[in-house]
Amino acid sequence: MVRAAATYTLGSIAGVISLLAGLSAAADRPIPGDNVAAPIEGALCGCPPFPEIPFGRRPSYLPGNTLVLTFDDGPDLVNTPKVLDVLARESVQATFFLNTESWTSLRENAVARAIVRRIVEEGHSLANHTAHHLRISRLPPEKIEQEIAEVEIVVREILGSEAPRLTLFRAPFGDPYVGHRWGPTFRKVAPIVARHAVHVGWNIAPTERVCPSGAGLCVLASTRRQLDRGAYGVVLLHSTKAETAAGLPAIIAEARRRGMRFLSVEDAVRARYQRSSAELVDDPRCHGGG
Ligand SMILES: [Zn+2]
């Protein structure tokens, strides 16, 4: 399975390099498809405040035939392994936004910890979705910091010196990155997140919650409707859902039938900012936003 992921990486790397080279000019222009202007103004001067992959159906810094698979929540013990099986079979790389104390306890459950190791071994990316999946906009700053740091600590416990830095983050429910933008709540949360990670929104969100358990065709149909409307970019899915695991092979097949290519979240960050997420996190100019 490691070999499958590696094959994907090698097979796509030339394409990604040429893609990113071609994108550098595009990323310097304003982004009409995005719903916030401030980070792009920052990007132009090399100091983006609160770097993020924002929401909106058509991220102009990515080509229109791009999909980026992301899986939130989990890991759970049943469906996350099935999702990994599909990704290995199809040689597609994804990013998993983990909770440490939500579906399972990553401090205590050895099987769940093994799934985290498997995610990394098979060439996928780990990212942070907070410890307990709370609405962080409602928490005091010290608790927000704790919710983010705990995931970093537990992942380091599981993977030791091999642990990747978790420089990609998605707030549970996208809150407050969807909605209260640049208000007091956003200004409370965003500087704390920016010291740890780039916030990753989504461009396509199949409506898994309305699909009956295991109904993969329902998730496929929802994805197809959004692709038909011209959406592309980061896809929000949940590795804990039986219907998502069931529908994933057809979703990948549908994307390939449309000539779409799979990139990673890190590819999207580089396309938008010409820097890696770690470089953005390590730049104090990205933490304040003025
Ligand atoms: Zn979630």
Segment 81-106 mean pLDDT: 97
The pair phi, psi for residue 198, each rounded to 5°, is: -85, 130
What would the mean pLDDT of 20-33 be, rounded to a whole number?
A: 35
| Rg from Cα positions in the chain | 18
Is the pTM here over 0.75, yes or no?
yes
* Degrees, nearest 5: CA angle 75-77-80: 55
Distance of CA 134 to the CA centre of its chain: 18
In this model, does residue 37 exceed pLDDT 70?
no
Measured in Å, residue 122 CA sits from the centre of ligand 1 at: 22
Q: How far is the CA of 129 from the centre of ligand 1 (A)?
A: 7
Kindly give the interhelix angle for 141-159 and 110-121, rounded to the nearest 10 degrees: 80
* Ion ligand 1: residues, CB < 5 A: 72-73, 172
Q: What is the pLDDT of residue 208?
A: 87
CA of 133 to the centre of ligand 1 (A): 6
First and final CA of the chain: distance in angstroms?
46
Q: Ligand 1 centroid to 98 CA: how many Å?
A: 8
Mean pLDDT along residues 51-58: 93
3 state DSSP class of 170? coil
Q: How many helices (H) and strands (E) does the chain have?
A: 11, 8
The span from the CA of 257 to the CA of 49, in Å, is 38
Percent of the chain with pLDDT over 90: 74
- Residue 186: predicted pLDDT: 93
Instruction: Report the separation in Å between the CA atom of 200 and the middle of ligand 1, taken as the mean of its atom positions.
Output: 12
Multiple choice CATH, 2-288, 3.20.20.370, 3.40.50.620, 3.30.420.480, 3.40.640.10: 3.20.20.370
For the stretch 139-173, pLDDT in tens is 999 999 999 999 999 999 999 998 999 999 999 99
Parse the chain into domains and list their residue ranges. Answer: 2-288
pLDDT of residue 32: 33
pLDDT at 280 over 50: yes
CB atoms within 10 A of CB 108: 9
